[in-house]
Amino acid sequence: MMLSLPVLALLMLAALLAGFIDAIVGGGGLITVPALMLALPVGTPLPMLLGTNKVVACTGTTMAAGKFLRSGTLAWREMVVPVLASAVGACFGVWLTYRVHGDFLRPVMLGLLVVMLAFTLLKPDLGQLHAPRFGLSHQRGLAALIAFALGFYDGFFGPGTGSLLIFLFVAVLGFDFLRASALAKSVNWASNLTAMALFVVQGSWIPSVALGMAAANGIGGYLGAHVALSRGSAWVRAVFIGVVGILILRLGWQVVHP
């Protein structure tokens, strides 16, 4: 499948922006999935579109996760179990993608995002301080459970996965926004990588579109992680509120106008 050069250039620009935003607070799929839906021919199978998007997203999350890991924001030992749990969850999610359609999840996701935004706005100090609520073993178990559930969701549907992960790591585990973003990016990297591999093995991706977008997304992911690390938790929280608000508007429109 060949697209015109101007269309490919616009898709790469969208991927660059998506990588930047996704590295900070998640929500990159809010940009790349609609862009692909507009650019690809009508009737493109859903797994083909999702597989192409996963190839793109995987590059950005790899660059962002690597940047966070090298920074030492969160010890790599805290990431191993959630990363593995996310990969297992994504396997089940991709399996389900080929069997049912994910449209019924949009109203559920919309409700969750509204609750997340309200909770964050009503608690101005939420995520400002890093104050884990549990012992190390309990923390790892809860992080793995969250990672498995969101890995499954990411493999099956996807939009807002990174934002949901950050919120849950802040609200449930007591992380600050910066450390939550570092852990969320590693978990999201695992689900993206697993889903990408499964889609590619099935032939559900478009190389001529995915590869250029993936390179741009990787650059955006690296830059986004760098900015998040330099600005700190308060800035990440502000971007989180903005992105969740946009996600609510986007999913709300899809629910009203399917």
* Residue pLDDT, tens place only, 165-181: 998 999 899 998 888 98
> Poorest-confidence range of 10-24, 162-176, 185-199, 225-239?
225-239
Q: Is the dihedral of CA 25, 31, 37, 40 positive or negative?
A: negative
CA distance 116 to 171: 9
Residue 134 CB burial class (10 angstroms; 0-12, 13-18, ≥19): middle
Count of C-beta atoms within a 10 Å radius of residue 53: 29
Residue-wise pLDDT tens digits, 37-82: 888 887 788 789 889 999 999 999 999 999 888 888 888 888 899 9
The pLDDT tens digits for 31-43 are 888 888 888 887 7
Share of the chain above pLDDT 70, in %: 92
- The band of 106, judged by pLDDT with boundaries at 50, 70 and 90, is low
Asked if 8 and 212 count as a contact pair (C-beta separation under 8 A), the reply is: yes
* Average pLDDT of span 182-205: 94
Q: How far apart are CA 212 and CA 198, in angstroms?
A: 20
| Encoded amino acid at 166, one letter | I
Q: Choose the weakest-confidence range: 125-129, 158-162, 191-195.
A: 125-129
pLDDT at position 33 is 82
